[in-house]
Structure 1
Amino acid sequence: MDTFLGLDALMLARIQFAFTIAFHFIFPAFSIGLASYLAVLNGMWLKTGDRVYLRLFKYWVKIFAISFAMGVVSGIVMSYQFGTNWSVFSDRAGPVIGPLMAYEVLTAFFLEAGFLGIMLFGREKVGPRLHMFATLMVAVGTAISATWILSVNSWMHTPQGFVMGENGQFLPDDWLAIIFSPSFPYRLAHTLTAAYLGTAFIVGGVGAWHLLRGRQTNRGVKIMFSMAMWMAAVVAPLQVFLGHEQGLNTYEYQPNKVLAMEGHLQSYDNGIPLILFGIPDQEAGIVRYKVEIPKLGGPILGKGWNASMDGLDTVPDADEPPVAVVFWSFRIMVGLGMLMVVVGFWSLWSRYRGNLHYDRWLHRAALLMAPSGLVAIIAGWVTTEVGRQPYTIYGLMRTGESVSPIAAQAVGASLMAFVVIYFFVFGAGIMYLFKLMAKAPEIGEPESDTSGPIRTAGITPGAGPEVSPAE
């Protein structure tokens, strides 16, 4: 068999796609949340006239611009793999996924690109109302982009609305059914919320960093930390609920994935346990050294306390996903999600005691949790995509049938090139982002804000309240 470092072309193509999409995924996720945060900051500046919101906008818009650019570049590189490594999949599924990807470009990407320049550079040239509109359009564009991409991916998990052509192609028959596949609403809600929550923890981590450095007199630092902790307290519990609902939907349409996530390698006759930890041994069909709560798994999966369930021991070996990867990535995602809830509630307690900006242990926890949202997003993506194996289009087209007829050496060489280039190029970009975040927002007047806010009754530009409600 043609191999490169002991790996065949199929495994190398999968590793390459996983590497590039994992690198890519973090930038759009951050951009989605940060674009909405910028819209809120700009709206607060226009509503209150408090310049601290303008300074925060100018602080974070630089970070957004760099993240957005890295997301665009990494996305373009990733898309070429459909033609190089996955040409068979592209040929057969192209009639369905091609138009959806084109809609993403024609609607979301053009919307973002059309208004991005105004948002970044046009405040003094177009006036505050149009600048606010442009900022909103960029935020809406990022969400629309995620909507189309998730529609494509959800169809691959729960395919419907197509007919099979004579040459094995998936031909569209009902576009509404294709776009709104059964898993799409759950995945869209869960992913968008994850992007907003992940961004909130990055903003909170930056605020915590500056508070730990004794910058409690900087209102911008205090406000960004306060807003992030409000988001964590409200959205983290919501995300747990949305994740549970998506899990139930996944169990209905992709039961093998959920069995792997939960570690149910065996069938149960009288009650389904909730396996907390353990070491899955897929070959032996057991979870070794497991820690479990008897019968609690039944109610979690929408069954009774004494329900029975078929495990992966009833599934042919060729149809089982890689259990260990799915089992542990799922626990990383859930574990981080629960820690986010803890930090959110902790912040409420500190806020109630009037100690939000002086609780150094909370600040340390928030700083430690700063990357947790992005890590949880990647872990959730691994759970979803590896759990779909051995299929690219669930139940209809196997991954082994989707790969291009390409030599392993060619895929291996391009994979090594991607790794080296990505770590140098995107590593430099990420280091620059850290450098920007390490600098606190300006305390004095911004250099250029002549456009002023939209005047409202009783508010004069530059004469905002000494204490903002967000603090």
Structure 2
Amino acid sequence: MTQTALFLSLAQFLTSLGFMLAFLALELGLAWVLLYLRLRARAGDASWMLAYRFWVRVYALSLILSFAAAIPVLIQLGTLWPDFMEKAGEVAGPLVAAAVLTAFVFKSCFLGAMLYGQRRLSDGTHTLTVFMVVVGASLTAYWIMAFMAWTQMPIGASLVDGRYQVRSWLPILGGRLAPTLFGLMAVGGLMVAAALMLAVTAVRTRTRPSDEGDRRVYATGVWLLLVCILAQAALVVNLGRVLMPAQPARAAAVVPQWHSTPSAELTVAAWPDAERQANDWEWRWPIEAPGWIARDPGGEVRGLDHFSGMTPPVLATYWTLRVALLAGALLALIAVAAWWRGWRLGHEPDGLRPLGRAALRLSTVLACVIQIAGFAHVFIGAMPYAIYGTVTLRELDAVTDLGEHAAITLAYVLVYAVLLLGFYQLLRHITRYGVVPVARRRGRA
């Protein structure tokens, strides 16, 4: 495989995977939000039910896109990396099958009743249906995260004659990395959902007075966003403690540490140059690098020169992490400001100023950037390995015509761009005009 073909394969696969993970996270976050709204609506407050009926439509849109995006990922796993299942099928096959089976069983059995059976079911039965949809979405996401975690830390299986054989499923499913990645996806999905709730409320109340449902959604979004930011910060710290010692080349790229030296300092910002093996410019933090930076037996900090070319793309690894952290800091400022305003003036969206409404709309973009940049860092930082430490991407060669490969990659990008635009337009429409029930009469809809 040439360098260009490898780049196109990675661009195509990561685009599809990122699109799927983004909407899977939103689907998971909205599912938990809907369960909360439905439980509050059981108390008899009509405002909570109005909020539920609005956001269940947004959930349905995200569900359709996440389900549709999963199909290209499964196809590309076989067409772009045809030898992957040959080497790791004993691990990947059951996990992918479990994710597909869970999605079909729970969504086939409970999703229709949740979306269309509210008027035909009792409150308790419909609430239970919503809960089962949440369980299905959570299990589906967990199988996917367990698979991704295993490619980052291949524990619980041994490489025998070029193929992985499972020794025990317990470390694969319950190791430290799989629950952490699932927690990041679940909390990240809730963060995106909370930011979206605030942004939609800010837009809805710009041209009309708010109702009780808007105020409830606004207050819920503020508190949920603040809690999610704190929870995700803790999960990111735990992820670093688990992943960085296991992947010392990633840790060196994060500093970045080009050469082995007795000590190292983290940089706040820099522009790494892989050809010169130095930074074009840098802003260093005046403290020693943390303990997860790998050291040799002599106590020296291992630089990128220690790993004999088996290092990730330094610039992408470095800046995906910085972009995620910067977006998280900006989102935290917006969340604190929204909480402070709510504490002082009450959670009344009608009183928002234009700058405040713009900040709440920006919060959705920042929450999405955090998720995309964070998962991009996880995958890019493991390169050049497909299964860390053992199987490289070049071994999973899928040699194709470069022109055809580039055209297919561009087509995927365009399709995903159109789908994103369609999602935005539909969300904008229901935000502006609300949810209009359709009356069905005999012989016509």
Kindly state the Cα deviation for residue 120 of structure 1 after the two structures are TM-superposed.
0.3
Q: Which residue number corresponds to residue 328 of structure 2?
A: 337
CA distance in 1, matches of 2:190, 2:362: 18
| Residue 30 in structure 1 maps to residue 22 in structure 2 | no
Q: What pairs with 1:158-307 in structure 2 (closer than 5 Å)?
A: 158-166=153-161, 168-211=162-205, 213=206, 215-270=208-263, 272-298=264-290
Asked if the contact 2:95–2:143 (Cα under 8 Å) also holds between the matched residues in 1, the reply is yes
Q: Which residue number corresponds to residue 389 of structure 2?
A: 395
| Residue 413 in structure 1 maps to residue 404 in structure 2 | no
CA distance in 1, matches of 2:278, 2:182: 34
Kindly state the Cα deviation for residue 132 of structure 1 after the two structures are TM-superposed.
0.5
Asked if the contact 2:251–2:292 (Cα under 8 Å) also holds between the matched residues in 1, the reply is no
| Residue 321 in structure 1 maps to residue 312 in structure 2 | yes
Q: Structure 1 residues 83-92 or 253-262, which shifts more? A: 253-262
Q: Which residue number corresponds to residue 147 of structure 1?
A: 142
SS of residue in 2 equivalent to 1:269: coil
Asked if the contact 1:70–1:426 (Cα under 8 Å) also holds between the matched residues in 2, the reply is no
Q: 1:149 to 1:291 in 2, by over 3 A?
A: same
Asked if the contact 1:269–1:308 (Cα under 8 Å) also holds between the matched residues in 2, the reply is yes
Asked if the contact 2:152–2:387 (Cα under 8 Å) also holds between the matched residues in 1, the reply is yes
| Residue 41 in structure 1 maps to residue 41 in structure 2 | no
Q: Which residue number corresponds to residue 338 of structure 2?
A: 347
Q: Which residue number corresponds to residue 50 of structure 2?
A: 55
CA distance in 2, matches of 1:216, 1:290: 50
Q: 1:74 to 1:341 in 2, by over 3 A?
A: same
Which letter does structure 2 place at the counterpart of 1:403? Answer: D
Q: 1:249 to 1:42 in 2, by over 3 A?
A: same
CA distance in 2, matches of 1:124, 1:163: 53
Kindly state the Cα deviation for residue 55 of structure 1 after the two structures are TM-superposed.
0.8
Q: Which residue number corresponds to residue 462 of structure 1?
A: none
Kindly state the Cα deviation for residue 365 of structure 1 after the two structures are TM-superposed.
1.4
Asked if the contact 2:265–2:288 (Cα under 8 Å) also holds between the matched residues in 1, the reply is yes
Which letter does structure 2 place at the counterpart of 1:332? Answer: V
Higher relative contact order (CA 8 A, sep 6+): 1
Q: Which residue number corresponds to residue 91 of structure 2?
A: 96
Q: Which residue number corresponds to residue 365 of structure 2?
A: 371
Q: 1:447 to 1:87 in 2, by over 3 A?
A: closer
Alpha-carbon displacement from aligned partner over 1:158-211 (angstroms, at most 9, x marks no partner): 002223333x11122212122234422222222221111121111111112234
Kindly state the Cα deviation for residue 355 of structure 1 after the two structures are TM-superposed.
4.7
Asked if the contact 1:56–1:441 (Cα under 8 Å) also holds between the matched residues in 2, the reply is no
CA distance in 2, matches of 1:298, 1:403: 37
Q: 1:355 to 1:51 in 2, by over 3 A?
A: closer
Asked if the contact 1:162–1:173 (Cα under 8 Å) also holds between the matched residues in 2, the reply is yes
Asked if the contact 2:262–2:301 (Cα under 8 Å) also holds between the matched residues in 1, the reply is yes
Kindly state the Cα deviation for residue 112 of structure 1 after the two structures are TM-superposed.
2.6
| Residue 434 in structure 1 maps to residue 422 in structure 2 | no
CA distance in 2, matches of 1:368, 1:169: 47
Kindly state the Cα deviation for residue 264 of structure 1 after the two structures are TM-superposed.
2.5
Q: TM-score, normalised by structure 2?
A: 0.91
Which letter does structure 1 place at the counterpart of 2:271? Answer: I
Q: Structure 1 residues 180-189 or 237-246, which shifts more? A: 180-189
Q: Which residue number corresponds to residue 443 of structure 2?
A: none
CA distance in 2, matches of 1:244, 1:416: 36
Kindly state the Cα deviation for residue 25 of structure 1 after the two structures are TM-superposed.
2.0
Which letter does structure 1 place at the counterpart of 2:56? Answer: V
The runs of 5 or more residues in structure 1 that have no matched partner are 449-471
Kindly state the Cα deviation for residue 308 of structure 1 after the two structures are TM-superposed.
5.4
CA distance in 1, matches of 2:293, 2:159: 33
Q: 1:426 to 1:241 in 2, by over 3 A?
A: closer
SS of residue in 2 equivalent to 1:125: coil
SS of residue in 2 equivalent to 1:87: coil
| Residue 112 in structure 1 maps to residue 103 in structure 2 | no
Which letter does structure 2 place at the counterpart of 1:42? Answer: R
Q: 1:256 to 1:221 in 2, by over 3 A?
A: same
Kindly state the Cα deviation for residue 359 of structure 1 after the two structures are TM-superposed.
4.1
Kindly state the Cα deviation for residue 299 of structure 1 after the two structures are TM-superposed.
6.5
Asked if the contact 2:252–2:293 (Cα under 8 Å) also holds between the matched residues in 1, the reply is no
Asked if the contact 1:85–1:411 (Cα under 8 Å) also holds between the matched residues in 2, the reply is no
Asked if the contact 1:162–1:171 (Cα under 8 Å) also holds between the matched residues in 2, the reply is yes
Alpha-carbon displacement from aligned partner over 1:404-426 (angstroms, at most 9, x marks no partner): 24333442232233233333345
The runs of 5 or more residues in structure 2 that have no matched partner are 440-445
Q: Structure 1 residues 394-403 or 424-433, which shifts more? A: 424-433
CA distance in 1, matches of 2:438, 2:316: 51
Give % identity: 26
SS of residue in 1 equivalent to 2:301: coil
SS of residue in 2 equivalent to 1:264: coil
CA distance in 2, matches of 1:355, 1:267: 55
Asked if the contact 1:232–1:343 (Cα under 8 Å) also holds between the matched residues in 2, the reply is no
Kindly state the Cα deviation for residue 121 of structure 1 after the two structures are TM-superposed.
0.5
CA distance in 2, matches of 1:171, 1:154: 17
Asked if the contact 2:9–2:80 (Cα under 8 Å) also holds between the matched residues in 1, the reply is yes
CA distance in 1, matches of 2:286, 2:401: 49
SS of residue in 2 equivalent to 1:170: strand
Q: 1:146 to 1:116 in 2, by over 3 A?
A: same
Asked if the contact 1:221–1:440 (Cα under 8 Å) also holds between the matched residues in 2, the reply is no
Kindly state the Cα deviation for residue 393 of structure 1 after the two structures are TM-superposed.
0.2
Which letter does structure 2 place at the counterpart of 1:381? Answer: F
CA distance in 1, matches of 2:191, 2:294: 27
Kindly state the Cα deviation for residue 225 of structure 1 after the two structures are TM-superposed.
1.4
CA distance in 2, matches of 1:323, 1:308: 20
Alpha-carbon displacement from aligned partner over 1:406-450 (angstroms, at most 9, x marks no partner): 3334422322332333333453243222322334578xxx899xx
Which letter does structure 2 place at the counterpart of 1:244? Answer: V
Q: 1:440 to 1:292 in 2, by over 3 A?
A: farther
